[in-house]
Amino acid sequence: MLIQAGFDIAFQCPARTPMLLQLNVHPSREADLRSADLVTARPNLPMTSYMDLYGNRVTRLDVPPGLVSFHNRLVIYDSGEPELTPPDTELTPVVGLPDDVLIYLISSRYCDSDKLSDFAWANFGGINGGYRRVQAICDFVHEKIRFSYPHARSTRCASDSLHEGIGVCRDFAHLAIALCRCMNVPARYCTGYLGDIGVPRDPAPMDFSAWFEVYLHGRWYTFDARHNHPRIGRVVIGRGRDAADVPISTAFGTANLVRFEVVTRELDQQRASA
Protein backbone atom coordinates (compact mmCIF):
# COMPACT_ATOMS: atom_id res chain seq x y z
CA MET A 1 0.00 0.00 0.00
CA LEU A 2 0.94 3.68 -0.31
CA ILE A 3 0.66 6.07 2.62
CA GLN A 4 0.55 9.83 2.44
CA ALA A 5 2.03 11.54 5.48
CA GLY A 6 2.98 15.07 6.37
CA PHE A 7 2.44 18.10 8.55
CA ASP A 8 1.77 21.83 8.71
CA ILE A 9 3.38 23.43 11.75
CA ALA A 10 3.84 27.12 12.55
CA PHE A 11 5.68 29.06 15.26
CA GLN A 12 5.67 32.71 16.27
CA CYS A 13 9.16 33.86 17.24
CA PRO A 14 9.55 37.27 18.95
CA ALA A 15 13.28 37.35 18.14
CA ARG A 16 15.78 35.57 15.92
CA THR A 17 15.79 31.95 17.09
CA PRO A 18 18.04 29.06 16.07
CA MET A 19 16.00 25.85 15.73
CA LEU A 20 16.45 22.12 15.20
CA LEU A 21 13.73 20.01 13.55
CA GLN A 22 13.36 16.23 13.53
CA LEU A 23 10.63 15.91 10.93
CA ASN A 24 12.13 13.76 8.17
CA VAL A 25 11.37 10.06 7.80
CA HIS A 26 14.04 7.95 9.48
CA PRO A 27 16.86 6.95 7.10
CA SER A 28 15.93 3.27 7.58
CA ARG A 29 12.72 3.97 5.59
CA GLU A 30 14.21 6.12 2.83
CA ALA A 31 14.17 3.21 0.36
CA ASP A 32 10.36 3.06 0.75
CA LEU A 33 9.79 6.70 -0.20
CA ARG A 34 7.84 7.23 -3.42
CA SER A 35 8.11 11.03 -3.36
CA ALA A 36 10.55 13.58 -1.98
CA ASP A 37 10.72 13.89 1.80
CA LEU A 38 11.25 17.63 1.81
CA VAL A 39 10.64 20.01 4.71
CA THR A 40 9.83 23.47 3.35
CA ALA A 41 9.73 26.70 5.32
CA ARG A 42 7.73 29.89 4.80
CA PRO A 43 9.40 32.31 4.53
CA ASN A 44 12.02 30.43 2.56
CA LEU A 45 15.03 29.94 4.86
CA PRO A 46 18.46 28.34 4.45
CA MET A 47 18.47 24.89 6.08
CA THR A 48 21.15 22.27 6.58
CA SER A 49 20.86 18.73 7.96
CA TYR A 50 23.01 16.26 9.85
CA MET A 51 22.75 12.78 11.38
CA ASP A 52 22.60 12.69 15.17
CA LEU A 53 24.09 10.11 17.54
CA TYR A 54 21.07 7.80 17.12
CA GLY A 55 20.98 7.85 13.31
CA ASN A 56 18.13 10.37 13.02
CA ARG A 57 18.11 13.13 10.41
CA VAL A 58 18.03 16.60 11.99
CA THR A 59 17.37 19.90 10.19
CA ARG A 60 19.17 23.01 11.40
CA LEU A 61 18.09 26.60 10.66
CA ASP A 62 18.02 30.16 11.98
CA VAL A 63 14.53 31.66 12.17
CA PRO A 64 14.00 35.45 11.94
CA PRO A 65 11.47 37.25 14.13
CA GLY A 66 7.85 36.70 13.15
CA LEU A 67 5.76 33.80 11.92
CA VAL A 68 7.48 30.76 10.41
CA SER A 69 5.70 27.69 9.09
CA PHE A 70 6.97 24.24 8.07
CA HIS A 71 5.26 21.94 5.59
CA ASN A 72 5.75 18.48 4.12
CA ARG A 73 3.71 15.91 2.19
CA LEU A 74 5.32 12.63 1.25
CA VAL A 75 4.24 9.27 -0.12
CA ILE A 76 5.79 6.11 1.26
CA TYR A 77 5.34 2.42 0.49
CA ASP A 78 4.26 0.02 3.23
CA SER A 79 3.73 -3.74 3.09
CA GLY A 80 0.23 -3.39 4.52
CA GLU A 81 0.98 -6.24 6.93
CA PRO A 82 0.60 -5.98 10.72
CA GLU A 83 3.80 -5.76 12.73
CA LEU A 84 5.64 -8.99 13.46
CA THR A 85 5.24 -10.79 16.76
CA PRO A 86 8.58 -12.10 18.05
CA PRO A 87 9.07 -15.80 18.83
CA ASP A 88 8.63 -16.61 22.51
CA THR A 89 12.07 -17.90 23.41
CA GLU A 90 14.37 -17.05 26.30
CA LEU A 91 15.95 -13.62 26.59
CA THR A 92 19.46 -13.04 25.31
CA PRO A 93 21.73 -12.69 28.37
CA VAL A 94 23.22 -9.23 28.82
CA VAL A 95 26.71 -10.62 28.17
CA GLY A 96 25.53 -11.73 24.73
CA LEU A 97 24.06 -8.39 23.62
CA PRO A 98 25.82 -6.26 20.97
CA ASP A 99 27.75 -3.27 22.30
CA ASP A 100 25.52 -0.70 20.59
CA VAL A 101 22.40 -2.13 22.24
CA LEU A 102 23.62 -1.77 25.84
CA ILE A 103 22.73 1.95 26.02
CA TYR A 104 19.06 0.93 25.82
CA LEU A 105 19.34 -0.92 29.13
CA ILE A 106 20.33 2.20 31.09
CA SER A 107 18.09 4.78 32.80
CA SER A 108 17.51 7.97 30.83
CA ARG A 109 15.82 11.34 31.30
CA TYR A 110 12.21 10.11 31.05
CA CYS A 111 12.76 6.36 31.51
CA ASP A 112 13.97 6.35 35.12
CA SER A 113 14.21 2.58 35.42
CA ASP A 114 16.52 2.90 38.44
CA LYS A 115 13.43 3.91 40.45
CA LEU A 116 11.28 1.02 39.21
CA SER A 117 13.51 -2.05 39.49
CA ASP A 118 11.95 -3.53 42.63
CA PHE A 119 8.43 -3.00 41.27
CA ALA A 120 9.33 -4.55 37.91
CA TRP A 121 10.95 -7.67 39.33
CA ALA A 122 8.11 -8.18 41.81
CA ASN A 123 5.49 -8.00 39.05
CA PHE A 124 7.20 -9.47 35.99
CA GLY A 125 10.17 -11.46 37.29
CA GLY A 126 8.24 -14.74 37.34
CA ILE A 127 7.31 -14.57 33.64
CA ASN A 128 9.49 -16.69 31.37
CA GLY A 129 10.18 -15.95 27.71
CA GLY A 130 11.15 -12.61 26.23
CA TYR A 131 7.96 -11.97 24.29
CA ARG A 132 5.66 -12.99 27.12
CA ARG A 133 7.52 -10.74 29.55
CA VAL A 134 7.37 -7.72 27.24
CA GLN A 135 3.72 -8.36 26.40
CA ALA A 136 2.88 -8.60 30.12
CA ILE A 137 4.50 -5.20 30.60
CA CYS A 138 2.49 -3.78 27.69
CA ASP A 139 -0.73 -5.22 29.10
CA PHE A 140 0.02 -3.68 32.49
CA VAL A 141 0.85 -0.22 31.09
CA HIS A 142 -2.16 -0.31 28.75
CA GLU A 143 -4.46 -0.89 31.73
CA LYS A 144 -2.58 1.38 34.14
CA ILE A 145 -2.52 4.63 32.13
CA ARG A 146 -5.63 6.49 30.99
CA PHE A 147 -5.04 8.41 27.76
CA SER A 148 -5.81 12.13 28.10
CA TYR A 149 -4.50 15.00 25.95
CA PRO A 150 -5.45 17.65 28.54
CA HIS A 151 -3.17 15.91 31.06
CA ALA A 152 -0.06 15.93 28.84
CA ARG A 153 3.00 17.20 30.71
CA SER A 154 6.47 17.57 29.23
CA THR A 155 8.21 16.82 32.54
CA ARG A 156 6.41 13.54 33.31
CA CYS A 157 8.79 10.56 33.56
CA ALA A 158 8.05 6.84 33.79
CA SER A 159 7.87 6.69 37.59
CA ASP A 160 5.41 9.63 37.55
CA SER A 161 3.22 7.79 35.03
CA LEU A 162 3.16 4.73 37.27
CA HIS A 163 1.85 6.77 40.19
CA GLU A 164 -0.40 9.20 38.31
CA GLY A 165 -1.99 6.67 35.92
CA ILE A 166 -2.68 9.23 33.20
CA GLY A 167 -0.90 10.62 30.16
CA VAL A 168 -0.43 10.55 26.39
CA CYS A 169 1.28 8.12 24.03
CA ARG A 170 4.80 9.14 25.07
CA ASP A 171 3.93 8.32 28.70
CA PHE A 172 2.76 4.83 27.75
CA ALA A 173 6.03 4.31 25.88
CA HIS A 174 8.24 5.71 28.64
CA LEU A 175 6.76 3.50 31.35
CA ALA A 176 6.91 0.36 29.21
CA ILE A 177 10.51 1.11 28.18
CA ALA A 178 11.60 1.69 31.77
CA LEU A 179 10.01 -1.55 32.98
CA CYS A 180 11.59 -3.50 30.10
CA ARG A 181 15.01 -2.11 30.94
CA CYS A 182 14.52 -3.16 34.56
CA MET A 183 14.04 -6.72 33.25
CA ASN A 184 17.24 -6.58 31.13
CA VAL A 185 15.28 -6.17 27.88
CA PRO A 186 16.85 -3.43 25.71
CA ALA A 187 14.14 -0.93 24.78
CA ARG A 188 14.22 2.28 22.74
CA TYR A 189 11.74 5.09 22.13
CA CYS A 190 10.25 5.76 18.68
CA THR A 191 8.24 8.63 17.26
CA GLY A 192 6.58 8.93 13.88
CA TYR A 193 3.36 8.65 11.92
CA LEU A 194 0.60 6.17 12.77
CA GLY A 195 -2.62 6.53 10.82
CA ASP A 196 -5.95 4.83 11.40
CA ILE A 197 -5.27 2.07 8.87
CA GLY A 198 -7.10 -1.19 9.51
CA VAL A 199 -8.75 0.19 12.66
CA PRO A 200 -11.77 2.44 13.36
CA ARG A 201 -11.05 6.10 12.72
CA ASP A 202 -10.11 8.12 15.79
CA PRO A 203 -12.21 11.34 15.76
CA ALA A 204 -9.51 13.25 17.68
CA PRO A 205 -7.14 15.50 15.67
CA MET A 206 -4.17 13.53 14.36
CA ASP A 207 -0.78 13.86 16.04
CA PHE A 208 2.62 12.30 15.78
CA SER A 209 2.66 9.02 17.68
CA ALA A 210 5.07 7.40 20.15
CA TRP A 211 5.80 3.70 20.60
CA PHE A 212 8.83 1.58 21.45
CA GLU A 213 11.03 -1.22 20.17
CA VAL A 214 12.67 -4.04 22.12
CA TYR A 215 15.71 -6.09 21.17
CA LEU A 216 14.82 -9.79 21.18
CA HIS A 217 16.49 -12.72 19.40
CA GLY A 218 19.00 -10.56 17.53
CA ARG A 219 16.68 -7.87 16.13
CA TRP A 220 14.33 -5.04 17.09
CA TYR A 221 10.57 -5.60 17.38
CA THR A 222 7.81 -2.98 17.63
CA PHE A 223 5.49 -2.76 20.65
CA ASP A 224 2.86 -0.15 21.50
CA ALA A 225 1.56 -0.03 25.05
CA ARG A 226 -1.11 2.54 24.22
CA HIS A 227 -2.87 0.59 21.45
CA ASN A 228 -1.53 -2.80 22.57
CA HIS A 229 -2.00 -4.73 19.34
CA PRO A 230 -0.06 -4.94 16.04
CA ARG A 231 -0.81 -2.06 13.69
CA ILE A 232 -0.42 -1.39 9.97
CA GLY A 233 1.50 1.49 8.44
CA ARG A 234 3.80 2.89 11.10
CA VAL A 235 6.37 5.32 9.65
CA VAL A 236 9.23 6.03 12.03
CA ILE A 237 10.78 9.50 12.19
CA GLY A 238 13.17 9.12 15.10
CA ARG A 239 14.60 6.66 17.60
CA GLY A 240 16.39 7.31 20.88
CA ARG A 241 16.59 6.55 24.57
CA ASP A 242 13.38 8.52 25.23
CA ALA A 243 11.49 11.59 24.02
CA ALA A 244 14.38 13.89 24.95
CA ASP A 245 16.40 12.38 22.08
CA VAL A 246 13.75 12.82 19.39
CA PRO A 247 11.92 16.14 19.87
CA ILE A 248 9.98 17.26 16.81
CA SER A 249 11.41 20.76 17.33
CA THR A 250 14.00 22.39 19.57
CA ALA A 251 14.16 26.18 19.84
CA PHE A 252 17.13 28.01 21.33
CA GLY A 253 14.88 30.87 22.38
CA THR A 254 11.12 31.50 22.35
CA ALA A 255 9.06 29.80 19.63
CA ASN A 256 5.33 29.78 20.37
CA LEU A 257 3.41 27.03 18.59
CA VAL A 258 0.44 28.55 16.70
CA ARG A 259 -0.50 25.78 14.25
CA PHE A 260 -0.05 22.01 14.38
CA GLU A 261 -1.59 19.64 11.85
CA VAL A 262 -0.50 16.09 11.05
CA VAL A 263 -1.75 13.95 8.16
CA THR A 264 -1.40 10.18 7.78
CA ARG A 265 -3.68 8.15 5.56
CA GLU A 266 -3.72 5.28 3.10
CA LEU A 267 -3.50 6.67 -0.41
CA ASP A 268 -5.85 5.55 -3.15
CA GLN A 269 -3.32 3.90 -5.48
CA GLN A 270 -5.40 4.41 -8.62
CA ARG A 271 -5.53 8.13 -7.95
CA ALA A 272 -1.82 8.14 -6.98
CA SER A 273 -0.83 6.58 -10.33
CA ALA A 274 -3.07 8.85 -12.40
Greatest extent of the chain over all pairs of C-alpha atoms, in Å: 58
Q: Determine the structural domain holding residue 28 and report its residue range.
A: 2-79+248-273
- Spatial distance between the Cα atoms of 145 and 149, rounded to a whole number of angstroms: 12
**Together in a domain, 53 and 98:** no
Q: Say what the pLDDT of residue 108 is.
A: 98
pLDDT tens readout for residues 14-64: 999 999 999 999 999 999 999 999 999 999 999 999 999 999 999 999 999
The pairing of strands 249-251 and 17-21 is antiparallel
**Together in a domain, 100 and 136:** yes
Please check whether residue 86 lies inside any domain of the structure.
no
8 Å CB contact between 11 and 39: no
What's the total number of domains in the chain? 2
**Together in a domain, 200 and 255:** no
Q: Say what the pLDDT of residue 270 is.
A: 42
Please check whether residue 88 lies inside any domain of the structure.
no
| pTM, full prediction | 0.94
Q: Say what the pLDDT of residue 196 is.
A: 93
**Together in a domain, 68 and 117:** no
Please check whether residue 136 lies inside any domain of the structure.
yes
The CATH number that applies at residue 99 is 3.10.620.30
pLDDT tens readout for residues 199-255: 999 888 899 999 999 999 999 999 999 999 999 999 999 999 999 999 999 999 999
The CATH number that applies at residue 74 is 2.60.40.2250
**Together in a domain, 105 and 28:** no
Amino acid at 13: C
pLDDT band at 141 (very low <50, low <70, confident <90, very high): very high
> What's the angle, vertex CA 62, arms to CA 59 and CA 63, rounded to 5?
110
**Together in a domain, 233 and 145:** yes
